[in-house]
């Protein structure tokens, strides 16, 4: 009974934290207007593993594309050190306090991959830096575009970023030696804002279809809530068709040549969005080619969708990592803060390089290095 009492106290603490988060969401401020800022501060965070190597190359491209704005001081690139697994483990925090303080001084962030300890690893059980940053900066919308025109694919995924199975991912516990418990979270406010963001994007970009992906037939309470809110908000957008799929069959339909061409904008809870966007990225060349935006009211963070690849570092292959994903993220960042022309230039250059393949990134010395690939992209610019 003592163990049960301790479990109840832990559960109560989690519920109180989430109720407090709901109150903060209710008082959300208006989004940042980048056009009104005298200077836009872009934080550059290398992360760890292959992160520093590939992020430096994306920084080079932004320095080239935004050289006039940087010279005039209307854009500032600020390098933020310290978001490494070693530093995070030393202070037993997903984001060290001094790093978080520097992040909060920026308007937007370009972030390299960071290592998340898994069960059995030598690192302590600290939360994912990505998950923590999304929660600390309230980056509720994870937006991941996937394009493969030759296959008729033009998808944009809106993954809820701050709730679902990842919301309290490090706060599950073992009740006793036989029972372990984790949690999934769904709130009205959190679901409404991601679903509305998906429909507003569809409306602004002349998209005609929004698809919700859940497992509401089994996960009836939280996924059920997500789906009910999707249905209600869909009624406010009569010019956009709405349909709903379960996550298991959706993973199959994305590889169905007849079905997949019809999907446009997809909105999903956190875990399903993480899984499905990795699958989707394979159609345009793999997770190394896809960028990701994390959007909130005040802050925004842009990143590669893949991990820190510690095996590559251990084997001395980090200089052969593919930087395309973080470069795509840099293009998304520039578009978000109002530099659409520069963003489009970078996307076109990456498209041309991937289509021509005059050199190949293989992850090994037999292929091009990260520096050679960047020079290839620079020539296209």
Q: What is the pLDDT along the chain (381 residues), one digit of tens a residue?
A: 788 888 888 889 888 988 888 898 888 777 889 989 999 999 999 999 999 999 999 999 999 999 999 999 999 999 999 999 999 999 999 999 999 999 999 999 999 999 887 766 777 778 889 888 988 999 999 999 998 888 999 999 999 988 998 887 778 888 898 999 888 999 999 999 999 999 999 998 899 999 999 999 999 999 999 999 999 999 999 999 999 999 999 999 999 998 999 999 999 999 999 999 999 989 988 776 778 899 998 999 999 878 898 889 899 999 999 999 999 999 999 999 999 999 999 999 998 998 888 888 888 998 999 999 999 999 999
164: which DSSP letter?
B
d(CA 202, CA 207): 5
Whether the CB-CB separation of 202 and 155 falls below 8 Å is answered with no
Residues in a beta bridge with 241 = 209
**Token digits for 6?**
């301790």
**Token digits for 1?**
């009974």
Helix (H) or strand (E) run with residue 168 in it: none
Q: CB 195: neighbour CB atoms within 10 A? A: 23
Residues with Cβ within 8 Å of residue 124, at least 6 apart in sequence: 89, 92, 117
Whether the CB-CB separation of 196 and 189 falls below 8 Å is answered with no
**Considering only CA atoms, which of 129, 171, 198, 227 is closest in space to residue 18?**
171
3-state secondary structure of 259: helix
Pairing of strands 265-268, 209-214: parallel
Residues in a beta bridge with 41 = 76
Whether the CB-CB separation of 155 and 145 falls below 8 Å is answered with yes
Q: Is the pTM of this model over 0.85?
A: no
Task: Answer positive or negative: Cα dihedral of 241, 247, 248, 254.
Answer: positive
Structural domains of the chain in order of their starting residue, each with its CATH number: 31-139+296-381 (3.40.718.10)
């Amino acid at each position: 009974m003592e163990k049960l009492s301790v479990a109840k106290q832990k559960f109560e603490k989690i519920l109180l934290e989430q109720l407090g988060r709901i109150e903060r969401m209710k008082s959300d401020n208006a989004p940042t207007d980048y056009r009104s800022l005298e200077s836009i501060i872009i934080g550059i965070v290398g992360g760890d593993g292959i992160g520093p190597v590939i992020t430096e190359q994306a920084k080079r491209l932004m320095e080239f594309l935004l050289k006039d704005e940087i010279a005039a001081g209307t854009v500032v690139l600020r390098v933020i050190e310290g978001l490494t697994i070693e530093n995070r483990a030393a202070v037993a925090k997903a984001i060290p306090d001094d790093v978080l303080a520097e992040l909060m001084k920026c308007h937007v962030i370009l972030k390299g991959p960071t290592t998340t300890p898994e069960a059995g690893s030598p690192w302590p059980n600290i939360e994912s830096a990505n998950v923590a940053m999304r929660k600390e900066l309230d980056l509720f919308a994870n937006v991941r575009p996937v394009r493969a025109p030759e296959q008729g694919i033009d998808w944009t995924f809106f993954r809820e970023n701050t709730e679902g199975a990842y919301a309290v991912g490090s706060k599950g516990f073992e009740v006793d030696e036989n029972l372990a418990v984790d949690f999934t979270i769904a709130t009205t406010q959190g679901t409404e804002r991601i679903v509305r963001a998906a429909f507003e994007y569809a409306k602004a970009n002349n998209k005609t279809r929004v698809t919700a992906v859940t497992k509401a037939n089994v996960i009836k309470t939280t996924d059920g809530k997500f789906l009910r809110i999707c249905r209600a908000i869909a009624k406010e957008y009569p010019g956009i068709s709405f349909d709903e799929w379960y996550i298991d069959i959706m993973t199959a339909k994305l590889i169905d040549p007849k079905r997949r061409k019809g999907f446009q904008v997809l909105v999903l809870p956190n875990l399903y969005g993480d899984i499905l966007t990795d699958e989707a990225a394979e159609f345009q060349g793999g997770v190394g080619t896809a960028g990701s935006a994390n959007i909130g009211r005040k802050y925004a963070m842009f990143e590669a969708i893949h991990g820190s690849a510690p095996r590559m570092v251990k084997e001395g292959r980090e200089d052969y990592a593919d930087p395309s994903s973080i470069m795509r993220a840099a293009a998304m960042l520039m578009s978000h803060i109002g530099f659409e022309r520069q963003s489009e230039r970078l996307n076109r250059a990456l498209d041309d390089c991937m289509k021509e393949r005059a050199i190949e990134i293989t992850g090994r010395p037999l292929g091009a290095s990260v520096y050679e690939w960047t020079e290839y992209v620079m020539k296209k610019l």
